[in-house]
Every structure is written in structure tokens, then in C-alpha cells.
A and B are shown apart, each in its own frame.
Chain A
Amino acid sequence: MQMLQNSVGRKLVMAVTGLFLFLFVVVHLLGNSSVFMGADGINSYAEHLHALGPVVWIFRLVLLGLFALHIFFGIQLTLENRAAREIEYNEKKNLRTSFGARTMIYTGLIILAFLLYHLLHFTMHVTNPEISVGALAPDALGRADVFTMMVLSFQKFFISLVYVGAMVTLLLHLSHGVQSLFQTLGWLGANSLPVMEKVGRAAAVVIFAGFISIPVSILLGLINV
């Protein structure tokens, strides 16, 4: 596997895994937005998802693999990049790069920490069992009541704050990451690069706004049990 030792080869792994993680995030957002259709929306979405059985597990394993590769090479490349400048400048002026670009490793690691919390919260029902599926009664149609779990969770200000904060880091990560992956895959030229930088930032903002609209709507009482 020559490619996994090469500088560009590993960047390509970052870009491809980043692209699929990005697509997952988009699909996840579309699925979650069924909460705006009330209990009927999200509860039936969740039921259909779980009815897929083994397919769900294949999907989860693929996702785990994507994350593992992305995180492993993200850390490895970052360590090499730091070693490439052992002595820092006393004064360094950056002209083009962005805050998002320079904090990829930090936003990445915060997303990872959030991911673990998110799984413990909504998938494994460990952090707030009293308001999670399992403790809550099934809905009128006998389905797991994901809707009530979401509403009761996000009515807690602190939980909403954690989710919104995590989405800020995702916003930063993607504001650099989206255009970066297109450049890494060699899909950009002198004219398309500045356009893609704007498109990438816009995509990051749309995803951010989409995700936070859920806890914000619940906190504002727009979605209620």
C-alpha cells in the first residue's frame, strides 16, 4: 500500500472519507428534519430505518470505517505538518488561510467527542435514560417515541447548548473542508477554486442552520409534545 505512505495518497484518503462523511451529514440532516412534521414524521422515519435490520448495521460499519480512516490520517498528517516546522516564526502574517483551515484538528477532535456523546445520548440512551426511548411509552401507533425523546432533551437548555456548540465546530470544519476536498481530488482550476470556496462555505452554513434549527425550534416552543 504505497499510497498510504504517500503525502498526496493520504490526503486523497482524507478527501474521499471527508466527502462521504459530508454526504452522511447531509442525509442525516434530511432525515432529522422529519421532526418538523411532528411525532408522525420522525417516529415513522425511525421505525422505517430500524426495519432495515442488517442494512443498518452494514451502514454503521461503513461509517465507522470512514471515521476511523479520517481520524487516523487526520492526526498523522497533522503531526507530520507540525514536525515540518520545529521552530516557529517570531512574526508570521497569513494572507489567505482561514481560522477554519488552521483549526481542522481541533474542530475534528471536538466533533469526535460530540459524536461519542451523541451516540450515548440518542442511540444508547445512557446519558438521559429517564427521557429516552425505553423509559418513554410508545406512541399511539406503538412505535418508539423518538419525537418525545428529542423534544424533552432539547428542552433542557444545557443539552441544546452542547448540540449547537458542536454544530459551530462542524461549521468551521466544513467551511474549509468542502473546498479543500475538491482541490485534493484535483477537480478545481484557477477559475473554479474561488467559486468552490464560496460554495463550500455556503454549504457549511446551510448544514449548520439546518441542524441547529431543531434544538432552537424546541427551545422556542415551536415544536412541542
Chain B
Amino acid sequence: MNLTLYVWRQNGPEDKGKLEQYEAKNVSPDSSFLEMLDEVNEELIEKGTDPIEFDNDCREGICGTCGCVVNGQPHGPQEQTTACQLHMRQFSDGDTLTLEPWRASAFPIIKDLAVDRSAMDNIIESGGYTSAYTGEVGEANQTLISKPDADYAMDAAECIGCGACVAACPNGSAMLFTSAKVAQLATLPQGKIEAAERVNGMTEAMLNAGFGNCSNHYECEASCPKGVSVKFIAKLNREYLKALPK
């Protein structure tokens, strides 16, 4: 199939950038979205043009590195699917695709579709961990965790930190990302100890990085490639309330 692409080209953070038109010819419906971009890039390189810069790593939907906004939706039109796992059979011959980078003031553009997501690392550094002393391996089942708690924490831990929630949010808020980590750790015994510092530190870091505030549009959940639920945002809010008197 043949597609028309409008791709955001921007030479660096300071460049103004604009949408450029490209033709993707003879695309196999079995190829992935990123493989389609690889082929377009090969052609661009042959022509002596700069290839389109885009982030990717595992191409298995687990690392959270890939992602761009395809026709107004982060990671494209398929529900709960990263851009690397999106297949071209989702589109039809003659379609027009507009590719844009994650748009958020907290994510400066590095080049074209690649953005700098270190703001999310800053949030994690501000509390998204537990302080555990290393040493002897403990007894198995020394720390008991109920099945529902383990499942709940696992669901929150599904977040791969790709930033689609920020890209989708009308407020450019990182609440789903932040809340997934807060909820995961606050549910486990190891994380309860630092729960108050964590929620205070991480929400403060979120604002300082220039992310917006959540106003419950729930666009984040709808665009999350891992289906992380906004119930974790309610959990973060509860954790924040609990931490208030401390």
C-alpha cells in the first residue's frame, strides 16, 4: 500500500520546525509502523536527505522508548499498543498520516520526533524508589503480600514510562505516570515506609518540571499503551491526603 506522510521536521530544540510531506510506497501491511519509517528513511538517505529522527529500542512494546503522535493519537490508532507494535495493516492504501512529537513544554524536542524525557527521570529520582539495604538474601515469604495487593501493584508497574499520557493530556500533565509509581510502591510493605516523602517529592518534581495539573480528562488512560488505569490517580490523591498531616 501507498501512504502520504506529514512528518514534523525540526533540526534541534531551538529550530522552529515544520511538517514535511513524504510518500511511503509499497508498504507491506505486515510491517510494523517503525519498519515503515525505516524504509522511508532508507530512501531519504539514498536521496541525500537527513533521515527522520525517531526514538526506539526494544521494538517489543516493553521498553517505553518509542512513540510519536499519529493522526492526533499517541502511539497511533490501535488501543493499548506502542508505536513499535503497531502494524501497518491498521491503515489502508491511500491514507494520510500526520506524525508529530510528544508536545509538552517539559519535553524539549531533540530532533524531529525525538523528545527529551529526562523530566520523567527527575520525577522518579524524587521518590520513585524504595531505600533497601543490601545484604544477605532474606527468607522467601519473609515479607507477606496479599494477592490483591500484589496484583494491584503489578498493574501499576505495567507503566513503561513512554510519556504517551503526557502527550495525550490536554494539560500536559504527568499524573498517570507519577501516580502509577506512587500507587505501586505505596501498596507494597517495602514502599509504605517512605510513602509520605514519596508522594510529596514526586508531585513537587512534577510541577517543577513544567508538567500541567490533572483535571480528570482521562485522556491518559485512553492512550496508555499498557492500559494503566486512572484509579491510580485517585490512589495518588489518597496518598497525598494521608501525607498532609506529616
Give residues in A with beta carbon < 8 Å to B: 2-3, 5-12, 77, 80-97, 101-102, 104, 176, 179-180, 183-190, 193
Contact = CB atoms under 8 A, between A and B. Distances in A.
Nearest 9 interchain pairs by C-beta:
A84-B212, A84-B172, A93-B72, A186-B238, A81-B171, A186-B237, A97-B217, A81-B212, A95-B222
A3 B244 contact: yes
A137 to B, nearest CB: 50
B105 interface: yes
Interface in B225-242: 229-231, 233-238, 240-241
A190 to B, nearest CB: 4
Nearest to B232: A190
30 contacts: A6-B203, A6-B207, A7-B175, A8-B199, A8-B214, A10-B213, A11-B213, A11-B215, A80-B213, A81-B172, A83-B212, A84-B104, A84-B210, A85-B103, A85-B104, A91-B72, A92-B69, A93-B72, A93-B73, A94-B170, A101-B215, A101-B216, A102-B170, A104-B215, A176-B216, A180-B215, A187-B234, A189-B231, A190-B229, A193-B231
Interface size class of B (residues with CB under 8 A): 35 or more
A10 B6 CA distance: 40
A94 B219 contact: yes
B178 to A, nearest CB: 9
B112 interface: no
B120 interface: no
A184 B204 contact: no
Given A91-B69, A96-B217, A184-B237, 5 more contacts: A7-B213, A86-B105, A94-B170, A95-B168, A189-B231
A77 B211 CA distance: 11
Contacts of A6: 200, 203-204, 207, 240
Contacts of A89: 69, 72, 100, 103
A189 B172 contact: no
Interface of B: 6, 19, 69, 71-73, 98, 100, 103-106, 168, 170-173, 175, 199-200, 203-204, 206-207, 210-219, 221-223, 229-231, 233-238, 240-241, 244
Nearest to A176: B216
Nearest to B212: A84
Contacts of B223: 95
Given A7-B213, A183-B237, A85 B172 contact: yes
A7 B206 contact: yes
Given A81-B173, A97-B218, A101-B215, A193 B230 contact: yes
B105 A83 contact: yes
A88 B210 CA distance: 16
A161 B219 CA distance: 35
